[in-house]
Amino acid sequence: MSAPHDPHADRDPELGVDSDLEVSDTTSGPSGAVHPRPRFLLLVAVGGALGTGLREALSLTFPPVSGVSVTTGVINVVGAFVLGLLLEFLSGRGEDSGRRRDLRLFAGTGVLGGFTTYSALATDTVLLGDTGRFVAAGAYTVGTLVLGLTAAALGIVLGRRIIRRRVAGSSS
């Protein structure tokens, strides 16, 4: 008689583990269902509502210029920068648990997820294309994506520098 198969024995140790779940929240077996905690969902929902409200307020305050929503582009680039900064800073502070996890879920997934809007970027691009402004549509899309990736990278670099300064300051 052989021992029962352990489904976790086949797991690749290089793969990440969902830090928003506790071991007791998962089930083993064929379904592999996960059960996020209601508190985590609430953090994301409240943060998302705040981020969406802020984005809408900015979009109403600064309407499109010549059919191009500069505000949407700026929001996405700023959001990418702040998200890179936040996540790098939090990851350098220690394990993704407790208050760090709550802050990541509320501010990162929630606020910044609601604040940034790549669906509006896609809609704006289609609207520009529908009016025959294909160069503007392409430049708007590519520009936003390139600037967003650059901003996220800069946020990560800044977050790393902040962590290094804190570590250097605490060791002196």
- Closest-CA residue to 76 (of 112, 129, 123): 112
CB 72 within 8 A of CB 117: yes
Q: In b/e form, how buried is each residue of 81-92, taking b as 16+ CB within 10 angstroms?
A: bbbbbbbbbbbe
Residues forming beta bridges with residue 34, ordered by sequence position: 26
CB 143 within 8 A of CB 73: yes
Element (H, E) at 59: helix 38-61
The position carrying tokens 């793969």 is 15
113 is in an annotated binding site: yes
27 is in an annotated binding site: no
The position carrying tokens 């071991």 is 23
Structure tokens at 75: 């929001």
Binding-site residues sit at: 113, 116
Binding-site residues for Na(+) sit at: 113, 116
